[in-house]
């Protein structure tokens, strides 16, 4: 039996983008009902763990032209310039709004908002609340969302399918994790705000829940995934756990050192002068790998690493600006950065690619919108600048909320019985997995294989051959993931079934990522091929689109929206 509920719009995801969308929708029409569905309690969404800050113009030496160009250049000219212009224009307003809702931005002595330097940003543009930005932002959003009676929450509901009828998206099918019951949550429009997919890779800053579910839901519903080959490695994650040492550590003046105790980034010419550590993430990650290859990395339990040196900043500055970095380093690796180096290595951090959306957060499927890390509008092109993402969640979360409401107002209710019978079919599919005792594949084993295939084939540096191998292997892993062996037949909090569903989502995306990467025979932003080391605008200045077929992704292309910033060599 499927439980049926009806709302006007359904938002999947309770992180920064989902909550911002919910608030925008609730404000746009207080008479409409908004379902907010999340597989974890909203405050546990990955947004909570963001540390460094959110970008928006705040200083007199900054302007829209500068923020826009930094973002376009950071994207290696693959970002869509209409999206970027809208973003930089609306960013300051969104961050100010967040303060009205309770986000305590750090301030200068004269009362103005304090901003810090971030890689690839030509001036101090990153707003922060010490180094616990995501925590404060998500709190402010969550608290504010509680003021609206028309936002109805479905906490710990796992969405497994989009319900599409009559050519438009009209709701979701979801498993209630607490009870094992199945639900059809119907609406006249749906927003995906499900975040990224870092867990496809073995070393990542991403929380366990970042399994790309929303990307897989859209892909399975026939919507294209865009630019999935572009994966951001953050240069400074802790080896082993992948826990993030925020870019603010470099922004506040920290150094990176190799095993010769050299501040090696000085030798890599990004043209940033004495701010050698403030290169963009793709370039700094490549420099670290080059240090490893030249034998200048330290050797540790989890392979090679370099170190962050904050000692010269002094205890007072570290405690004032980077208290969380000190706390994390002490707890997770047993070092105090006031006196010691923090070991780091590049780790997967962010997906530039995602569900193909336009500047209105709309997808090709009528009634389906997407915002936040799940979406690819594309603001970030081939490489995201640190601190643009949190602001993107706000700016485009709000756009999605308003547009989904508008769509819902103009759409009819649709055929409920057809939607419910789709949900019933989906319930039967999921039920067949529960404690099936059949199947030949173990969840953990396949996840491990997927992780190592992705690291070997689609890491910081890529080769045609290794990407091709990854494409072939991920295809076979995807097929094998249909034959999972589950043991737990309980209904209440059956986390095994959730892991199985997440794995089935991840293997789809791993294949799209590898196939898209193998196709792009150039180096652009985070996609660096050793055998095609230069950017090739002649042949590859377009977005990659991937549509699902049973035999794997069918690739297509979408034009990049250029504007007044002409493509040029990307130099810092």
Ligand X SMILES: Cc1cc2nc3c(=O)[nH]c(=O)nc-3n(C[C@H](O)[C@H](O)[C@H](O)COP(=O)(O)OP(=O)(O)OC[C@H]3O[C@@H](n4cnc5c(N)ncnc54)[C@H](O)[C@@H]3O)c2cc1C
Under 8 Å CB-to-CB from 82, ≥6 apart: which residues? 359, 561, 563
Residues 128-187 that bind ligand X (CB under 6 A): 133-134, 158-159
| Residue 23 binds ligand X (CB under 6 A) | no
- Please report which helix (H) or strand (E) contains residue 307, including its range: strand 303-309
234, 286, 462, 478: which one is catalytic?
234
Q: Which is nearer to ligand X, 79 or 372 (CB)?
A: 372
Q: Which is nearer to ligand X, 155 or 537 (CB)?
A: 155
| 234 included as an active-site residue | yes
Cβ atoms 415, 313 nearer than 8 A: no
Q: Helical H runs in 252-366? A: 281-293, 314-321, 323-333
Q: Which position among 33, 38, 130, 285 is part of the footprint of ligand X (CB under 6 A)?
A: 38
Binding segment for ligand X (CB under 6 A), chosen from 188-196, 254-262, 457-465, 529-537, is 188-196
Alpha-carbon gap, residue 178 to 494, rounded angstroms: 8
42 makes contact with ligand X (CB under 6 A): yes
Look-up: residue for tokens 């936040």? 372
Site string for ligand X, 243-262 (x = CB under 6 A): -x------------------
Euclidean distance between CA atoms 345 and 305, whole angstroms: 5
Report d(CA 545, CA 288) in Å as an integer.
Answer: 31
**DSSP reduced 3-state for 175:** strand
Closest approach of Cβ 14 to ligand X, in Å? 4
| 75, 115, 145, 194: residue in contact with ligand X (rule CB under 6 A) | 194
- Which listed residue (22, 52, 265, 284) binds ligand X by CB under 6 A? 52
As a 3-state breakdown, the chain gives helix, strand, coil percent values, each rounded to 5, of 40, 20, 40
With contact defined as beta carbons under 8 Å apart, do 37 and 12 qualify?
yes
Q: What is the dihedral of CA 547, 552, 556, 562, to 10 degrees?
A: 70
Looking at the Cβ atoms of 193 and 454, the one nearer to ligand X is 193
Alpha helix stretches (DSSP H) within 75-206: 81-100, 133-145
Going residue by residue from 348 to 387, which x/- string records binding to ligand X, judged by CB under 6 A? Answer: --x---------------------xxx------------x
Q: Which of 113, 85, 83 is nearest to 98 (CA)?
A: 113
Q: How far is the CB of 40 from ligand X (least distance, A)?
A: 4
The total number of residues shown for the chain amounts to 572
382-421 binders of ligand X (CB under 6 A): 387-390, 393
Residue 119 makes contact with ligand X by CB under 6 A: no
Q: Which of 6, 39, 168, 257 forms a contact with ligand X (CB under 6 A)?
A: 39
Catalytic positions? 234, 250
Residue ranges that bind ligand X, judged by CB under 6 A: 12-18, 37-40, 42, 45-47, 49-54, 133-134, 158-159, 193-196, 205-206, 209-210, 213-214, 244, 350, 372-374, 387-390, 393
């Amino acid at each position: 039996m499927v439980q049926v509920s009806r709302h006007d719009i359904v938002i999947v995801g309770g992180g920064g983008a989902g909550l911002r969308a919910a608030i925008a929708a609730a404000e746009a029409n207080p008479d409409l009902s908004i379902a907010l569905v999340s597989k974890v309690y909203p405050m546990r969404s990955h947004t909570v763990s963001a540390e460094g800050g959110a970008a928006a113009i705040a200083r007199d030496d900054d302007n829209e032209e500068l923020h826009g160009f930094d973002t376009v250049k950071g994207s290696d000219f693959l970002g869509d310039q209409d999206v970027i212009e809208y973003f930089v224009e609306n960013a300051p307003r969104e961050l100010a709004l967040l303060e009205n809702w309770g986000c305590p931005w750090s301030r200068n002595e004269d009362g103005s908002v304090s901003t810090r330097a971030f890689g690839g940003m030509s001036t101090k543009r990153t707003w922060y609340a010490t180094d616990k930005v995501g925590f404060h932002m998500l709190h402010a959003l969550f608290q504010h969302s509680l003021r609206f009676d028309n936002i109805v929450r479905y906490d710990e509901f796992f969405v497994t399918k989009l319900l599409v009828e009559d050519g438009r998206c009209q709701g979701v099918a979801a498993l209630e994790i607490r009870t094992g019951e199945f639900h059809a949550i119907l609406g006249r429009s749906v927003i995906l705000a499900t975040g990224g997919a870092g867990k496809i890779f073995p070393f990542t800053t991403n929380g366990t829940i970042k399994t790309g579910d929303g990307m897989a839901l859209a892909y399975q519903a026939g919507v294209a995934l865009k630019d999935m080959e572009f994966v951001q490695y953050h240069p400074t994650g802790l080896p082993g756990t992948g826990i993030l040492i925020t870019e603010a550590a470099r922004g506040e003046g920290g150094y990176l050192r190799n095993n010769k105790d050299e501040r090696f980034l000085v030798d890599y010419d990004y043209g940033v002068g004495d701010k050698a550590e403030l290169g963009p993430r793709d370039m700094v990650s490549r420099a670290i790998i080059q240090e490893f290859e030249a034998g200048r990395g330290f050797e540790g339990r989890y392979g090679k690493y370099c170190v962050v040196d904050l000692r010269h900043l002094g205890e007072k500055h570290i405690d004032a600006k980077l208290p969380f970095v000190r706390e994390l380093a002490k707890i997770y690796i047993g070092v105090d950065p006031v006196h010691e180096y923090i070991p780091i290595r590049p780790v997967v951090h962010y997906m530039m690619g995602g569900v193909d959306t336009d500047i209105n957060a709309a997808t090709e499927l009528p009634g389906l919108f997407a915002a936040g890390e799940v979406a690819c509008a594309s603001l970030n092109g081939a490489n995201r600048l640190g601190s643009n993402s949190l602001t993107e969640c706000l700016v485009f979360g709000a756009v999605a909320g308003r547009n989904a409401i508008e769509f819902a107002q103009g759409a009819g209710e649709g055929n409920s019985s057809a939607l419910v019978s789709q949900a019933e079919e989906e319930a039967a599919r999921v039920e067949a997995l529960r404690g099936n005792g059949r199947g030949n594949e173990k969840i953990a084993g396949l996840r491990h294989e997927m992780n190592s295939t992705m690291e070997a084939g689609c890491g910081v540096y890529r080769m045609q051959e290794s990407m091709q191998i990854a494409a072939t292997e991920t295809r076979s892993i995807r097929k094998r993931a249909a034959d999972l062996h589950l043991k737990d037949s309980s209904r209440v909090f059956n986390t095994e079934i959730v892991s199985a569903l997440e794995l089935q989502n991840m293997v789809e995306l791993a294949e799209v990522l590898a196939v898209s990467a193998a196709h792009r025979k150039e180096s652009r932003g985070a996609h660096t091929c050793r055998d095609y080391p230069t950017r090739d605008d002649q042949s590859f200045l377009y977005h990659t689109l991937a549509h699902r077929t049973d035999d794997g992704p069918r690739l297509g292309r979408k034009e990049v929206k250029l504007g007044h910033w002409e493509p040029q060599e990307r130099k810092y």
